């Protein structure tokens, strides 16, 4: 194995050289060895360069469901010197079109469902020039400019390029407050640094079976994919349909004999809620990791009591700081349901700060905004200098260094442990996704029946964590109800962004400044439809 990989694809170089016959990734209908993953991605990389004309720095959109071939496409893009942009398969064409327009890709690589969705999105854009479409599988050939057989016939060695670790590896689009998704650039250097640390810290061994639960457009998947390859472990991709089947999900962990599970807390909450895990279940499981939102302490206690043989770790960090910036290995069962679980200490190469409104650092145990500095920091948002300027600021003690303003509130105790204390803005975490409520409001305001609206987050615990609640008033003579609005909104937003609670009012409450009183709405939802 390469001792000091510079780029993400170098992990596969080393794994394929050391263990070509070992299983790399397992999907529902296909499994690939490291040698097969190496060969297929090399052939596709040659196609991207020689047939499609891709150059260093071009974007390759991945319109593909989670599968071993999707992992092939990721590595092909990297080996061609490009950055890949995974598109959410659940996004409606209108929103995917926004991502396609912003990404400005040279090529779209997809399976048949993905190419169908991409074509619908391109039709929405109505652009005169379109990126080339490459079929990952033969059944997608009729929809593609480049058939699967074309790239399968390319050479087995990929082009050796003089690209460096500061290049962008992928761009992940997240919710934006203005209604436009924002593209977070992640460099090879940042991703490689986290993966190398995590494989060491968790002592991931060759042949271990790891979960691949998050969707590919979600930053947690970066650790699953490249961590397993770096360790020469097996990545077992979790079918998305199991996310609503807690007993099926538990059966998957059990039957695949997984050694590591990594997901958002809402999944763990769902499994606990349906009592899908027995005492001393999952005998092969050694590590359970979560990231993306708060795991309620009662749920953690439930898991630790059921699985005393498992190591539990809380990871924290936004996409802008590459997967995770801090970690906390839970040392023992919390004494009570009221115990506060830290987000822990900074990962090596990272720094967490707690900052006051005036930009000075907060004292010990004083709550302020969490800022992050270090190797994981993104260069900024893709082609969005203004958003980048607002979010990435000078370090309060070292102005030549950059920090990312997370918008999260937190504190640091006397032992150097950090704790999360909620948000300072209108952004929420829902089922692990970071959502700008302003994007939902922008979409609601496009609907003909809506005169005025506001969207708020209401903590409810359970699977949702924070419920998305929409209050609205109708235009005169408009004939609409919540069900119609939800159907229309589903044409503009992915399912995870759709409000789960609705309230129609003649007028939305206003504060003394004439602005919508969101605090009053939160209380109203709590009384009328909340918990």
Q: What is the pLDDT of residue 515?
A: 74
Assign 244 a pLDDT band (cuts: 50, 70, 90). Answer: confident
Task: Give the CATH number of the domain where residue 131 resides.
Answer: 3.40.50.980
Please tell me the least confidently modeled range out of 64-78, 341-355, 462-476. 462-476
Mean pLDDT, range 243-271, rounded to an integer: 94
User: 461 in helix, strand or coil?
Assistant: strand
Task: Give the CATH number of the domain where residue 288 resides.
Answer: 3.40.50.12780
Q: What is the pLDDT of residue 464?
A: 61
Note whether 132 and 246 are same-domain residues: no
Assign 284 a pLDDT band (cuts: 50, 70, 90). Answer: very high
DSSP string, 364-378: TT--EEEEEEETT--
Residue 22 lies in a domain: no
Q: What is the pLDDT of residue 463?
A: 61
| Most confidently predicted of 240-244, 263-267, 303-307, 486-490 | 303-307
Note whether 284 and 378 are same-domain residues: yes
Assign 186 a pLDDT band (cuts: 50, 70, 90). Answer: very high
Note whether 307 and 398 are same-domain residues: yes
Residue 216 lies in a domain: no
In sequence order, the 6+-apart residues with CB closer than 8 A to the CB of 112 are: 135, 137, 139, 140, 143
Note whether 502 and 446 are same-domain residues: yes
Note whether 376 and 440 are same-domain residues: no
Q: What is the pLDDT of residue 530?
A: 44
pLDDT in tens, 357-367: 999 999 999 99
Q: Please check whether residue 488 is in contact with residue 481, taking contact to mean a CB–CB distance below 8 angstroms.
A: no
Residue 194 lies in a domain: no
Residue 182 lies in a domain: yes
Mean pLDDT, range 209-217, rounded to an integer: 96
Number of other residues whose CB lies within 10 A of the CB of residue 480: 16
Q: What is the pLDDT of residue 427?
A: 77
Mean pLDDT, range 176-194, rounded to an integer: 89
DSSP string, 216-241: TTSTHHHHHHHHHHHHTPEEEEPPGG
Percent of the chain with pLDDT over 90: 75
Q: What is the pLDDT of residue 128?
A: 67
Residue 201 lies in a domain: no
Q: What is the pLDDT of residue 384?
A: 96
Q: What is the pLDDT of residue 160?
A: 79
Note whether 327 and 471 are same-domain residues: no
**Alpha-carbon gap, residue 101 to 124, rounded angstroms:** 10
Quick check: 258 pLDDT over 50?
yes
pLDDT in tens, 326-354: 999 999 999 999 899 999 999 999 999 99
Residue 14 lies in a domain: no
Note whether 446 and 359 are same-domain residues: no
Quick check: 382 pLDDT over 80?
yes
pLDDT in tens, 438-448: 889 888 988 99
Note whether 180 and 242 are same-domain residues: no
Residue 181 lies in a domain: yes
Note whether 293 and 375 are same-domain residues: yes
pLDDT in tens, 111-149: 999 999 999 999 888 876 789 999 999 999 999 999 999
Mean pLDDT, range 95-101, rounded to an integer: 93
Q: Please check whether residue 357 is in contact with residue 425, taking contact to mean a CB–CB distance below 8 angstroms.
A: no
Q: What is the pLDDT of residue 161?
A: 81
Mean pLDDT, range 206-212, rounded to an integer: 98
Q: What is the pLDDT of residue 1?
A: 39
- Per the prediction, the chain carries an average pLDDT of 92
Note whether 436 and 419 are same-domain residues: no
Torsion, Cα 237 379 325 408, to 10 degrees, reads -110
Tokens 């919710």 identify what position? 175
Q: Domain count of the chain?
A: 3
Residue 26 lies in a domain: no
Q: What is the pLDDT of residue 76?
A: 97
Residue 366 is part of which domain span?
238-423
Q: What is the pLDDT of residue 2?
A: 43
Quick check: 224 pLDDT over 50?
yes
Domain termination site, one of 399, 423, 447: 423
Phi-psi region of 263 (alpha: psi -120 to 50; beta: other; left: phi over 0): beta
Domain termination site, one of 163, 187, 211: 187
Note whether 147 and 114 are same-domain residues: yes
Task: Give the CATH number of the domain where residue 485 resides.
Answer: 3.30.300.30
Note whether 277 and 405 are same-domain residues: yes
Q: What is the pLDDT of residue 531?
A: 44
Mean pLDDT, range 33-57, rounded to an integer: 97
Domain termination site, one of 423, 457, 482: 423
pLDDT in tens, 138-181: 999 999 999 999 999 999 988 778 788 999 999 999 887 666 88
């Amino acid at each position: 194995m390469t001792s000091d990989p510079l780029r993400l694809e170098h992990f596969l170089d080393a794994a394929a050289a050391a263990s070509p016959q070992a299983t790399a990734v397992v999907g529902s209908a296909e499994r690939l060895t490291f040698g097969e993953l190496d060969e297929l991605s090399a052939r596709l990389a040659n196609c991207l360069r020689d047939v499609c004309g891709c150059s260093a720095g071009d974007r390759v959109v991945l319109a593909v469901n989670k599968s071993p071939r999707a992992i092939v496409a990721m590595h092909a893009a990297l080996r061609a010197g490009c950055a890949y942009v995974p598109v959410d398969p659940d996004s409606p064409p209108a929103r995917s079109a926004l991502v396609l327009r912003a990404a400005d890709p040279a090529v779209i690589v997809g399976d048949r469902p993905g190419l169908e969705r991409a074509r619908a999105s391109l039709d929405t854009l109505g652009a005169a020039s379109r990126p080339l479409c490459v079929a990952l599988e033969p059944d997608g050939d009729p929809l593609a400019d480049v058939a699967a057989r074309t790239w399968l016939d390319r050479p087995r060695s990929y082009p050796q390029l003089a690209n460096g670790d500061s290049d962008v590896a992928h761009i992940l689009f997240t919710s934006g407050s203005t209604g436009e998704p924002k593209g977070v650039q992640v460099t090879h250097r940042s991703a490689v640094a986290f993966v190398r640390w995590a494989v060491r810290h968790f002592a991931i061994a060759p042949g271990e079976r790891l979960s691949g639960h998050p969707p590919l457009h979600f930053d947690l998947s970066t650790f699953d994919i490249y961590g397993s390859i770096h360790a020469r472990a097996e990545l077992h991709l979790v079918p998305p349909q199991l996310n609503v089947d807690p007993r099926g999900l538990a059966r998957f962990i059990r039957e695949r004999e997984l050694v590591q599970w990594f997901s958002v807390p809402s999944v763990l909450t769902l499994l606990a809620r349906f009592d899908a895990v027995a005492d001393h279940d999952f005998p092969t499981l050694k590590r359970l990791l979560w990231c993306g939102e708060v795991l309620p302490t009662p749920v953690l206690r439930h898991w630790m009591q059921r699985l005393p043989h498992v190591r539990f770790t809380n990871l924290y960090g936004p996409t802008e700081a590459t997967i995770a910036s801090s970690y906390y290995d839970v040392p023992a069962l919390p004494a009570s349901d009221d115990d506060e679980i830290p987000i822990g200490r900074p990962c090596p190469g990272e720094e967490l700060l707690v900052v006051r409104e005036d930009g000075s650092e907060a004292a010990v145990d004083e709550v302020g905004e969490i800022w992050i500095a270090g190797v994981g920091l993104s260069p900024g948002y893709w082609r969005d200098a203004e958003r980048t300027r607002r979010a990435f600021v000078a370090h309060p003690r070292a102005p030549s260094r950059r920090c990312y303003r997370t918008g999260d509130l937190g504190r640091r105790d006397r032992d150097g442990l950090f704790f999360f204390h909620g948000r300072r803005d209108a952004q929420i975490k829902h089922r692990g996704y970071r959502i700008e409520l302003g994007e939902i409001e922008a979409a609601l305001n496009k609907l003909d029946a809506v005169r005025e609206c506001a969207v708020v987050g209401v903590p409810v615990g359970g699977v949702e964590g924070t419920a998305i609640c929409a209050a609205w008033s109708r235009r005169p003579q408009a004939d609409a109800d919540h069900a119609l609005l939800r159907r229309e909104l589903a044409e503009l937003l992915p399912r995870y962004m759709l409000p789960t609670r609705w309230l129609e009012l003649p007028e939305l409450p206003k504060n003394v400044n004439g602005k919508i009183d969101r605090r009053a709405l939160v209380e109203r939802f709590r009384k009328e439809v909340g918990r």
